[in-house]
């Protein structure tokens, strides 16, 4: 476990509480790596890498990358991904029943190559006032991510793969990426294949996202599309993500934001991290515990008593604000029966109503540790 920066430690605490309540047979080897908290060094990075190589799987928060240049172009986050060769980032963007957005019933997957492209960390000042930033596209890695996307579509029963590019402008770099995708597509005749320029893809996602199934793209485009698509279903707090190499699997939030302004305010949405943790359990073949947690999270949202923005109960009086809530734990009846699942919430930091009404005294829900609730 790598909590990361911002609200990462708070989200990881929620995961550990849920795992404990659900009796998940997982022990975390926790490490801290942060460039903004002066907890980053080559030694710490090597310790994290060694731990991940031993366990083969990890749950991580966002490791924030400062904008200031301090002599090293590659961030610790990028160096970690390169050391483990985490070439494929997968973000499953799916609507959550109970939370209404402009587009409902969305279900698409974004696959991003994340070891080269614009994030190659190759920049230099060729002349005073002139910076060259190199974008690296290789045949080997383009073919690898294309094959990963088509294999994923085949395994998950998906019907179409769309390659996103800017080959009309970057004719050699993106042209090579597009060519590799086309070559790999010929090996999968049962999967439909099409292409789309990145700027048009952004517009199409907003206007008609239902046309997409699996999208595969280079590094920077994937970063942008991940965040755009997350906004279609509720934001960074609700979309899980994962990254893969040939040997390792890392589970994280689909849209990576530290959300530093929310630290200590109990308003961070734990949905994405809990769903990522559930996906990790499924990867570890702990299907029962994975379904237990994922189903509980989705059930709470579907019931509609909780607002997705802060996972807080909507106020009865407009002058009452519920600052936030934390998904505390998931419990069965002690006999492991999913049908008897009880989901608990812990509401904290309720603001008193300024109009003097007795809303807080008459609120129908009283939630606390160890007590059941009626949703």
User: Domain range for residue 114?
Assistant: 100-233
Residues 222 and 104 in one domain: yes
Residues 117 and 222 in one domain: yes
Distance CA 227, CA 231 (A): 6
The pLDDT of residue 307 = 60
The pLDDT of residue 258 = 64
Residues 106 and 196 in one domain: yes
Domain assignment present for residue 271? The answer is: no
The pLDDT of residue 154 = 97
Residues 229 and 323 in one domain: no
The DSSP 8-state label assigned to residue 191 in this structure reads: S
The pLDDT of residue 308 = 53
Of 186, 216, 233, the residue that ends a domain is 233
Residues 208 and 320 in one domain: no
* Domain total in the chain: 2
Domain assignment present for residue 321? The answer is: yes
Condensed to tens digits (0 to 9), the pLDDT of residues 152-182 reads 999 999 999 999 999 999 999 999 999 999 9
Domain assignment present for residue 259? The answer is: no
Helix H or strand E segment including 330: strand 322-331
Of 186, 204, 233, the residue that ends a domain is 233
Residues 206 and 323 in one domain: no
The pLDDT of residue 260 = 67
Q: Residue 80's closest CA among 35, 132, 111? A: 35
The pLDDT of residue 75 = 82
Helix H or strand E segment including 293: helix 287-303
CATH number at residue 117: 3.40.718.10
- At how many degrees (to 10) do helices 287-303 and 271-283 cross? 160
Q: 152-157: which pairs have CB atoms within 8 A and are 24 or more residues apart?
A: 152/90, 152/109, 152/111, 152/214, 153/188, 153/191, 153/213, 153/214, 154/188, 154/190, 154/191, 156/109
Confirm if 8 and 258 have CB atoms less than 8 A apart. Answer: yes
Domain assignment present for residue 368? The answer is: no
Domain assignment present for residue 52? The answer is: no
Domain assignment present for residue 207? The answer is: yes
Residues 107 and 221 in one domain: yes
Which residues in the chain land under pLDDT 70?
36, 257-262, 267, 305-375
Domain assignment present for residue 12? The answer is: no
Domain assignment present for residue 118? The answer is: yes
Condensed to tens digits (0 to 9), the pLDDT of residues 100-129 reads 888 999 999 999 999 999 988 898 999 999
Helix H or strand E segment including 353: none
Of 203, 233, 263, the residue that ends a domain is 233
Whole-structure pTM value? 0.80
Distance CA 76, CA 236 (A): 22
């Amino acid at each position: 476990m790598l909590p990361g920066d911002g609200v990462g430690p708070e989200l990881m605490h929620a995961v550990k509480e849920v795992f404990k309540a659900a009796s998940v047979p997982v022990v975390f080897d926790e490490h801290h790596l942060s460039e903004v908290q002066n907890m980053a060094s080559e030694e710490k990075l090597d310790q994290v890498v060694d731990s991940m190589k031993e366990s083969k799987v990890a749950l991580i928060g966002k490791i924030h990358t400062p904008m200031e240049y301090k002599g090293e172009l590659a961030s610790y986050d990028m160096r970690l991904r390169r050391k483990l060769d985490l070439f494929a980032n997968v973000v499953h963007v799916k609507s959550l029943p109970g939370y209404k957005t402009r587009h409902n019933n969305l279900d698409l997957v974004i696959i991003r190559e994340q070891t080269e492209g614009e994030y190659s960390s190759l920049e230099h000042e060729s002349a005073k006032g002139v910076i060259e930033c190199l974008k690296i596209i290789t045949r080997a890695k383009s073919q690898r991510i294309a094959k990963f996307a088509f294999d994923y579509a085949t395994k998950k029963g998906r019907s179409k793969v769309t390659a996103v590019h800017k080959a009309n402008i970057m004719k050699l770099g993106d042209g090579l990426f597009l060519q590799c995708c086309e070559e790999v597509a010929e090996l999968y005749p049962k999967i439909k294949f099409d292409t789309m320029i990145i700027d048009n893809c952004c517009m199409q996602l907003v206007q008609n996202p239902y046309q997409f199934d699996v999208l595969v793209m280079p590094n920077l485009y994937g970063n942008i599309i991940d965040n755009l698509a997350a906004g279609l279903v509720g934001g960074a707090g609700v979309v899980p993500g994962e990254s893969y190499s040939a040997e390792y699997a890392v589970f994280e939030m689909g849209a990576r934001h530290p959300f530093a302004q929310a630290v200590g305010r109990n308003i961070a949405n734990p949905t994405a991290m809990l769903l990522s943790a559930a996906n990790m359990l499924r990867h570890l073949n702990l299907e029962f515990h994975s379904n237990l947690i994922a189903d509980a999270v989705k059930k709470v949202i579907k019931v509609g008593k909780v607002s997705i923005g802060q996972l807080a109960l909507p106020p009865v009086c407009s002058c009452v604000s519920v600052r936030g809530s934390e998904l505390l734990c998931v419990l069965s009846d002690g006999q492991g029966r999913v049908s008897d699942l009880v989901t608990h919430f812990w509401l904290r930091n309720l603001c008193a109503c300024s109009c003097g009404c007795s809303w807080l005294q008459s609120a129908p829900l009283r939630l606390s540790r160890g007590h059941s609730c009626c949703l």
